[in-house]
Amino acid sequence: MEVAVAVGTGNPVKYRAVKRAFSRFYNASVVMVRVESGVGPQPSGVAGVVGGALARAVRAAAKAGSHFGVGVEAGPIEFPSSGGYVETQVAAVVDRDCRVTIGISPSFEVEERVLDLMLKGVEMERAVNIERRGGLGETVGFVGVATRGAITRQELTEHAVIMALIPRLMGYERIATVEEIASQAGAKVECNSLGAI
């Protein structure tokens, strides 16, 4: 099946990850569309991270007129751990009917000092204070440095997108609306029908 996919980002790592994920299952034409997430450079908490991913997906689909819009947002979300949060990537895939499927990546604990900064809105790249040409967010990511290249940010993102595609690949009978998922996450994101675009 041939599909047009718009990724709501200006980050080439996210773009490549979405392209690889969709290309495993579809004949996909993928474009990168710069959109605002509405959550700032370093979102945190389920509301911020999921809300940012949803907003990116909806805005990308609307701007590009594509079959699917994809939003990927990363940040610490509440989870039982030493600091009460884990760093994760959340992927949202929205279709023209404003139905959305969600996937998350493997996640990991962040040092408390770094977590405190991130919860105050400091981007992880600056919070970890690791210098790298091109910036961590557009290369291997902190996870790539921490795992000595065993897992990269692109791989985390690709896995999150693949997880978000499972309900579509399996033909789930019910897929929630953007508003339903936003409400569950405690975020405010709306999607008018994208079918006419």
132 touches 146 (CB < 8 A)? no
121 touches 99 (CB < 8 A)? no
Q: Structure tokens of 86?
A: 């884990």
Residue 17 CA to its chain's centroid (Å): 10
* Burial (CB count within 10 angstroms: exposed 0-12, middle 13-18, buried 19+), residue 42: buried
Q: What angle do CA 34, 108, 132 make, to 5 degrees?
A: 55
Distance (Å, whole) CA 3 – CA 29: 6
Which DSSP category does 120 fall into?
Answer: T
Distance (Å, whole) CA 102 – CA 174: 13
36 marked among binding-site residues: yes
In terms of residues, how long is the chain?
197
Q: From the annotation, which residues make up the binding site?
A: 36
Q: From the annotation, which residues make up the binding site for Mg(2+)?
A: 36
